[in-house]
Amino acid sequence: MKCREFENTNHVCQLPGFIKPRPVTIRALSAALLLTIATTGPLRAVETVEIANDALLVALAIPDGRLTVTDRRCDIVWRQHFPVQTARGSTWGEKVHTDTVGANRRLRIEKASVEEGAIHAAASWSGHPFRIRFELPREDAELTVVIETPSPDEKLPWEAGWEGVVMMTYPYAFYHPSVVDTVVPNEEGVIYSPEDIDPAIDPRRWNRSLLHYKLSMPWWGVTDGQRGVMTHIETSWDCMFSVEWVETENGTRTLPQVTWLDSKHCWRYPRRATFRFLEEGGHVAMAKAFRRSEQEKGVFRSWKEKVVDNPDVARLKGAVNVWNWETVTADLVHALREAGIRRCVLAKPRADYAEPGEGVEPEAIRAAREAGYLIGLYHNHSWIQNRWI
């Protein structure tokens, strides 16, 4: 169903304010041998490395790489679980193909230590070495994970598969039994239930190509309506959103995962994902947190600022949005003017691999400019990279 109170314009959520963070202090903890409960099976001993501040306690399990985060503000423990099944689907009513996610698809932590308040880990995935850094700031209940490799320009050992290539899914999604909603900024915003595990219910949920190129903002989250975890992809170009099955202590669930793509068959640059842990506010607080991060980067601009930078932006206000799937002609522009339309965005959606300008007559461009219309390729895709392998 569509998500209420969840709208975006120009890829930035228009919601005021943000929850004021509490001041925190980094406190690094040494590696310890702890008893933890595995996703399946009895109690077993695993080695963990921990870091903490006043808001969060973060434990990294070695060698499986799963994270456990305790939110000290509201006494909730968020755990990660391995994806065990993935799927692909296209349109409504079509059969969804499912595939088991084997242990060979998992990242392995070779060793880890605490240095300057962060966890530094050596890891491997599909035979390729990686370095992973887990960072807690002095303020805010946030955990940033940075993944890089000592050989960024070396071709990755990713094999061909039905999804194009075998891609790294890491870090895994966080879950708590209280979670009832998965919030995805797909166009106007969509809410999924993690308890909907039948792939026939909503085949489009499993359409990776559709979902990842239509994310209007590079984040998603899970929430019980107040508490939650927001996943913010800070290097979103070579990343994909995917929904996969996990086995939890409360049964099978479907959760959104971070899935990294190659960059021209290599890793190329450090990848960053930040998890923001919320004690109140639900998906509205997530949207506000994203807006705040954009403001801090200096990329959030008001309407007036955009018009100063590009006066043509002023023509958008009050304009009729016309999608034309056929060739855009001067006759169409004249017909719109004769109908009394004073402002118009005349768009030619790009189909398949059309070249810029294809399907638009030069005379139509001149007529549109004379009419004061905006004309061109309609581009309203994604913050997440719009490509498929």
Q: pTM of this prediction?
A: 0.76
Q: How confident is the model at residue 208 (pLDDT cuts 50, 70, 90)?
A: low
In 3D, which of 107, 115, 117, 105 has the Cα closest to residue 51? 117
Tokens 């314009």 -> residue: 9
Return mean pLDDT, the chain. Answer: 80
pLDDT at 12: 32
Asked if residue 186 has pLDDT above 70, the reply is yes
Asked if residue 191 has pLDDT above 60, the reply is yes
Distance, in Å, from the CA atom of 359 to the CA atom of 188, rounded to the nearest integer, reads 29
Angle, helix 330-338 to helix 362-371, in steps of 10 degrees? 20
pLDDT at 238: 82
Asked if residue 371 has pLDDT above 90, the reply is yes
pLDDT digits over 108-160, tens only? 999 999 999 999 999 999 889 999 999 999 888 999 999 999 999 998 876 65
pLDDT at 300: 82
* Whole-number percent of the chain with pLDDT over 90: 52
Average pLDDT, stretch 3-29? Answer: 33
More confident position, 237 or 178: 178
Helix (H) or strand (E) holding 36: strand 32-37
pLDDT at 190: 86
Find out if CATH 3.40.720 is the number for domain 8-297. no
pLDDT at 21: 34
Pairing, β 219-223 against β 32-37 = unpaired
pLDDT at 123: 97
pLDDT at 188: 74
pLDDT at 163: 46
Alpha helices, DSSP H, located in the chain? 208-213, 282-297, 303-309, 330-338, 362-371
pLDDT at 298: 85
**What is the residue extent of each domain of the chain?**
8-297, 310-378
